Amino acid sequence: MDPVLQMPARIVPAPSALTQSDFPKSPEEQFLLARKYSTGEGVEKNAATAFALMQSAASQKHPEAISGLGYYYLNGVGVEMDEEKALECFRRGAELGHSRSQLNLGMTLLNRKFDPESISEGLAWVEKAAQSGLDFALMAAGRIHFSGLFNSPVDLPKAFQYYSKAAMQDNPDAQALVGWMHEQGAGTPKNPDQSAEWYRKAAEQKSRLTTIESASRR
């Protein structure tokens, strides 16, 4: 078994409300309880307990817990920050087909801006996550192609495809961007009617991008 997913870890000292013997047996219950301890939802907030629960669930191959454990390592939640261990967790989840792990792996690799190999692999994982339909991944892939980030070529038609898929999932910022692209003819032919419709949908959900767009027209 991957040692990153096993106990014990270098947990940051803190009083724990639970001992391991008190943990729920189900990895799903452990995962959900870990999130409550990390945020203080219905329990006293305790990062150390959150980490222990998340790691226990991850050790039982719970995909979301594996991704959550990577997040805890990346951000130092109940444990010392360790980017390499975070990447190990994200990679483990990504290889299990967990789309959020794929996105997290991709974006963590992309943040290593001076490592061309990491950038190439990171872009591939973001694309893979986007192909699963995860809206956060669709937005990330759309932005990469829209702006030519990480030395990628600008590809407005592809950006439009990704933003459109996110917009169809009711992502308000994607709806605003699709409206703008229809208005400008960016990556798609100009279509004032479609532009107005997508702006309307975005405004109904109070997209911050429609607020910016409205302000820019004054």
Task: Find, among 147, 142, 141, 152, the residue nearest to 107 by Cα.
Answer: 141
Average pLDDT, the chain: 88
CATH class given for the domain over 1-96: mainly alpha
- For 101-122, write each residue's pLDDT tens digit: 999 999 999 998 778 889 999 9
CB atoms within 10 A of CB 51: 26
pLDDT for the residue 103: 97
Lowest mean pLDDT among 20-29, 54-63, 156-165: 20-29
Task: Find, among 39, 84, 30, 32, the residue nearest to 59 by Cα.
Answer: 30
Helix orientation angle between 47-59 and 63-75, rounded to the nearest 10 degrees: 140
Record the pTM.
0.83
Is a pLDDT exceeding 60 seen at residue 11? no
More confident residue, 115 or 26: 26
Long-range contacts of 110-113 (CB under 8 A, 24+ apart): 110/150, 113/150
- For 148-162, write each residue's pLDDT tens digit: 999 899 999 999 999
Q: What is the DSSP letter of 120?
A: H
pLDDT for the residue 13: 39
User: Which residue type, as a one-letter code, is found at position 69?
Assistant: L
Is a pLDDT exceeding 60 seen at residue 211? no
Average pLDDT, integer, range 181-189: 97
User: Which residue type, as a one-letter code, is found at position 109?
Assistant: L
User: In angstroms, what CA-CA distances link 214 with 38, 167, 201, 208?
Assistant: 38, 19, 14, 10
In the chain, ranges of CATH 1.25.40.10 domains: 1-96, 130-218
Topology given in CATH for the domain delimited by 130-218: 1.25.40
Cβ(73)–Cβ(85) under 8 Å?
yes
Residue % of the chain over a pLDDT of 70: 86
